């Protein structure tokens, strides 16, 4: 059975919210009144129609932040590694999914990020944890002119990328590494494209006058204290 573009996009959007394949089919049926008979159909849609951000980024800052995290799979004891390089107050510059945590995979992260650098941009420093592979990968892919900063204290921490790992709560339990890679690529495209709700919220609402008015209504005492301090 052939499905319309609207049904495919709805199913992929629901799946990107972290729903299981079964619940994605149920929700699609309730919303579009169309029955998707197989879980494999939705997986095939991600293979055929899954998106991936490919455009060069803008307004990147001189310092980037890199890290890796462990993501659980469908069975206890199975997991994969998600690597990411991010700029402060920006979407991820590059990311990579792998089964191993070694030098080769660290270099792959740097190459993925380098492909998205805008013309004329080159980072001055990359801050990571103390994994030795980062230093070798940075100098091998980006050159020795890029400084490798290691996290040495809470004050000079890596919160920019650590806070990003909250996105794992939106990920379902994957059965294969390829399914995880396709899902994460599409999830990045859904949440960090220029017209996405998250992207518009972050760049138009946060820090605006409307944001201050909402915060003053929700937390009046805190807002008054900030005004007294001159914030």
Q: What is the spatial distance between Cα 104 and Cα 110, in angstroms, rounded to a whole number?
A: 10
- Joined together, the tokens standing for residue 68 give 């890796």
Q: What is the spatial distance between Cα 193 and Cα 130, in angstroms, rounded to a whole number?
A: 32
E strand residue ranges, 24-137: 63-72, 79-87, 92-98, 125-128
Which residue is listed with tokens 């008054």? 224
**More confident site: 226 or 30:** 30
Residues 186-206 pLDDT 10s: 888 887 765 443 434 344 444
- Joined together, the tokens standing for residue 120 give 């004329």
pLDDT value at residue 224:
40
pLDDT value at residue 202:
43
Phi, psi (5° rounding) for residue 9? -65, -40
Q: What is the spatial distance between Cα 209 and Cα 144, in angstroms, rounded to a whole number?
A: 43
Pairing of strands 63-72, 147-150: unpaired
Residues 80-104 pLDDT 10s: 999 999 988 677 898 999 999 999 9
Average confidence (pLDDT) over 121-141: 92
């Amino acid at each position: 059975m052939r499905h319309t573009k609207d049904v495919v996009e709805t199913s992929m959007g629901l799946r990107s919210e972290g729903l299981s394949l079964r619940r994605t089919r149920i929700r699609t049926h309730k919303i579009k009144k169309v029955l998707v008979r197989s879980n494999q159909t939705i997986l095939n849609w991600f293979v055929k129609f899954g998106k991936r951000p490919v455009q060069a980024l803008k307004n990147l800052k001189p310092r980037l932040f890199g890290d890796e995290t462990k993501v659980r799979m469908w069975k206890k004891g199975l997991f994969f590694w998600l690597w990411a390089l991010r700029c402060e107050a920006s979407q991820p510059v590059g990311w990579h999914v792998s089964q191993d945590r070694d030098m080769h995979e660290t270099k792959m992260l740097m190459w993925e990020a380098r492909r998205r650098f805008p013309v004329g941009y080159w980072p001055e420093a990359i801050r990571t944890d103390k994994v030795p592979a980062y230093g070798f990968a940075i100098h091998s892919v980006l050159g020795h002119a890029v400084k490798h900063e290691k996290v040495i204290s809470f004050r000079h921490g890596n919160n920019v990328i650590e806070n990003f790992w909250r996105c794992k709560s939106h990920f379902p339990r994957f059965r294969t590494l390829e399914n995880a890679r396709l899902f994460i690529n599409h999830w990045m495209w859904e949440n960090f494209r220029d017209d996405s709700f998250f992207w518009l919220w972050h760049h138009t609402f946060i820090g605006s006058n409307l944001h201050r008015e909402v915060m003053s209504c929700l937390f009046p005492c805190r807002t008054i204290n900030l005004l007294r301090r001159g914030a």
